[in-house]
Amino acid sequence: MTGVPTSYASGVAEVPLLGHTIGEALERAANRWGARPALIARAQDVRWTWRDLRDRADAFAAGLTALGLRRGDRIGIWSLNRAEWALTQFAAARAGLILVTINPAYRLSELEFALNKVGCVALVTATAFKSSDYIGMITALAPELSGATPGRLSAARLPHLRIVIQIGGPQAPGTIAFQDVAQRGGAAEREALRALAGELQFDDAINIQFTSGTTGSPKGVTLTHHNILNNGYFVGRAIGLSEKDRICIPVPLYHCFGMVMGNLAAVTHGAAMVYPGEGFDPLATLETIEAEKCTALYGVPTMFIAELDHPQFERFDLGSLRTGIMAGAPCPIEVMKRVVGRMNMREVTIAYGMTETSPVSFQSAVDDPLERRVSTVGRIQPHLEVKIVDASGRIVPRGEPGELCTRGYSVMLGYWDDEAKTDEVVDARGWMSTGDLATIDAEGYCNIVGRIKDMIIRGGENVYPREIEEYLFRHPKIQDVQVFGVADLKYGEEPCAWVRLHKGETMTEEELRAFCHGQIAHYKVPRYVEFVEEFPMTVTGKVQKFIMRQQVEERLGLKRAETA
């Protein structure tokens, strides 16, 4: 309608995009903040300055070159949060290699698929972590490894893989010890890297990250230096990072949250990367914040809940905290308020995005009113565009829900070797369809209503699970809640709520429904309520509602009405 503001916005850009590679960013950091702390990995007793990190990355990159790796080759990293992870990330960038980040939760078929899909020539792998025997799984896929000359693997099931670099020990036959790689590089390799630095372009592919694969085989999201370095830079600007900051990073490095919003935000602002441990542990995180005087903390909502509800929470001095980012999943308003009030994170922000957009496209500002920070995901990032469209692709008026689409420097090159899938989500004009339902208000603040596939359609009414969850979070007994749709013969779908209660609390289904009565529309009141101890989650902290839906429908024998 003429004169009605539409749901389109572009990000105001006070500073230009960075026009250099990740390797150049590391060099600049070493030159500018050389003696300041760059990386602290507490569990490993590692403390490196920016100069240390640059020198170690250069040496490792030279070693990779000596092993025969060349610009554009794919090198996988399969490990939890360790100093070696960051070293591999920066060394790969210096050598022009494409870093393939592999989920530490992957098992045999997933690992085989990932390595073969993108043709990994080398793999940097952990030895083991808790119940995960990484070397054992690689050997199961490539039994030829035990008899191979290190660096010359030839395996039937992994035809591209030649080099297996092992972090930690005891060293397995056929592998190369991580600490030995740097020693392989000599003057010739270092000279080759210096020459290469002038040839690498910021639009070169540098990272492949696999989607979660909840609707089929995982897709390899291909990202450039320009994509992820700029995203880390602008995310860091939004929370006011400087060389005086220390970012506590308990989120996984293999995911954009850790490696982009953490490591690349740090390298572009001189802030220190602080790893509390290999995997997430709320106690280790709290101990690290206090001991290292961290000023920023990252996490998904479930991580913050685990920290706040830890029995020893009160004994920690978190006074050094100033800011941080909550992202990765919808952020409950009540949790956000507790983070601000009890963790001293007065400048905490919400970030929203997806791997295909490097990842962040929206972020709240540190000086946004708290109400804005707890009820929206902020405004569009600098140099990016957003529009909200209806089912026919037309931009809707401000305030109306529709699918969120973004465009700009952050949009991926595409899915690796899958043009058809790429064309499904990125159109000819460069717009990336997110699959998320959202609204944009008059001031440009975005509210994520839910996933298109998660929206419940009950008897013709659109029901947004997020709205019900936010209401139920107000109940003092409820620690966490997830709402999703399950099949119903009469209405098509009915809302179902899985509820986690605070320790020591009890509740009945009738009590929960009574809490809803008269407060939310009758069709939004959960028809089914289950009290659970945990939700099925991905490693990155995303709740897997499709698994919950399957379990409930199977257990209760629920079926959808047949349609023509």
pLDDT in tens, 393-452: 999 999 999 999 999 999 999 999 999 999 999 999 999 999 999 999 999 999 988 888
pLDDT at site 34: 97
Between 63-77, 124-138, 202-216, the lowest mean confidence (pLDDT) is in: 202-216
In the chain, what percentage of residues exceed pLDDT 70? 97
Domain hosting 167: range is 24-35+48-210
Whether residue 510 is contained in a domain is answered as: yes
Find the CATH number of the domain harbouring 170: 3.40.50.980
Between 35-44, 206-215, 403-412, 442-451, the lowest mean confidence (pLDDT) is in: 206-215
Each residue's pLDDT tens digit, 275-307 = 999 999 999 999 999 999 999 999 988 899 999
d(Cα 273, Cα 33) in Å, to the nearest integer? 14
Cβ pair 472, 481 in contact under 8 A: yes
Whether residue 115 is contained in a domain is answered as: yes
Structure confidence at residue 562 as a pLDDT band (50, 70, 90): very low
Whether residue 11 is contained in a domain is answered as: no
d(Cα 86, Cα 104) in Å, to the nearest integer? 15
List, in order, residues 6 or more apart from 557 with CB less than 8 Å away: none
Whether residue 517 is contained in a domain is answered as: yes
- Which amino acid appears at position 426 of this protein? V
Each residue's pLDDT tens digit, 449-482 = 888 888 888 877 778 888 899 899 999 999 999 9
Whether residue 412 is contained in a domain is answered as: no
Give the sign of the dihedral formed by CA 516, CA 508, CA 337, CA 548.
negative
Whether residue 92 is contained in a domain is answered as: yes
Cβ pair 461, 490 in contact under 8 A: no
Q: How many domains does the chain have?
A: 2
Whether residue 316 is predicted with pLDDT greater than 50 in this model: the reply is yes
Whether residue 502 is contained in a domain is answered as: yes
- In the listed set 210, 245, 280, which residue is the last one of a domain according to the structure? 210
Each residue's pLDDT tens digit, 355-402 = 999 999 999 999 998 888 888 999 999 999 999 999 999 999 999 999
Between 280-289, 481-490, 497-506, the lowest mean confidence (pLDDT) is in: 481-490
- In the listed set 180, 210, 240, which residue is the last one of a domain according to the structure? 210
Nearest to 443 by CA among 375, 345, 389: 375
- In the listed set 210, 236, 252, which residue is the last one of a domain according to the structure? 210
pLDDT at site 522: 87
Whether residue 495 is contained in a domain is answered as: yes
pLDDT at site 538: 78
Each residue's pLDDT tens digit, 95-137 = 999 999 998 988 898 899 999 999 999 999 999 999 899 999 9
